[in-house]
């Protein structure tokens, strides 16, 4: 079972991800809807998640800034970066993301990204 933290401003994606991950035996242990909230939630999580799904375009703090701060708290955090903007792929990977998914991402692909990140 993979413990997952979802950071995305799209509420409907949280529900979809939770349903899909539950079917596969994984657990969403925390949610955040913007980058600022994500840092507050992540710093209090104990134990830390196995994988973080992180959106790029969010209010209050974008995904790249959020990822940098999460990795300062926990350099071993495994982040699956998700964005509709393909131009941030290289920067996300260079700055510490395990992998990158381009929105809209299929259910099969998000499962693959999360499971691969957890086992890396």
According to DSSP, residue 66 is labeled H
Going from the C-alpha of 69 to that of each of 47, 99, 100, 107, the distances in angstroms are 18, 18, 18, 28
Q: Which two tokens mark 21?
A: 């991950």
Give pLDDT tens digits along the chain (120 positions): 999 999 999 999 999 999 999 999 999 999 999 999 999 999 999 999 999 999 999 999 999 999 999 999 999 999 999 999 999 999 999 999 999 999 999 999 999 999 999 998
Domain boundaries, the chain: 3-29+49-119
Question: In this predicted structure, what is the pLDDT of residue 69?
Answer: 98
Q: Which two tokens mark 24?
A: 């596969």
Question: In this predicted structure, what is the pLDDT of residue 47?
Answer: 94
- Cα–Cα distance between 84 and 58 in angstroms, integer? 12
- Cα–Cα distance between 102 and 85 in angstroms, integer? 7
Question: In this predicted structure, what is the pLDDT of residue 91?
Answer: 97
Residue range 3-29+49-119 in CATH 3.30.465.10 = no
Residue 13: CA count within 13 A, CB half-sphere: 20
- pTM, two decimals, is 0.96
Task: Tell me which residue of 13, 15, 51, 58 sits closest to 35, measured CA to CA.
Answer: 58
Name beta bridge partners: 102: 83
Question: In this predicted structure, what is the pLDDT of residue 65?
Answer: 97
């Amino acid at each position: 079972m993979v413990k997952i933290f979802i950071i995305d401003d799209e509420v409907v994606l949280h529900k979809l991800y939770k349903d899909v991950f539950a079917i596969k035996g994984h657990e969403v242990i925390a949610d955040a809807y913007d980058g600022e909230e994500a840092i507050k939630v992540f710093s209090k999580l104990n134990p830390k998640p196995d994988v973080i799904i992180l959106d790029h375009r969010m209010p209050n703090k974008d995904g790249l800034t959020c990822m940098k701060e999460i990795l300062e708290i926990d350099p071993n955090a495994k982040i699956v970066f998700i964005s509709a903007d393909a131009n941030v792929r290289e920067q996300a990977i260079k700055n510490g993301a395990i992998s990158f998914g381009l929105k809209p991402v299929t259910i099969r692909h998000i499962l693959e990204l999360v499971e691969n990140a957890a086992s890396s």
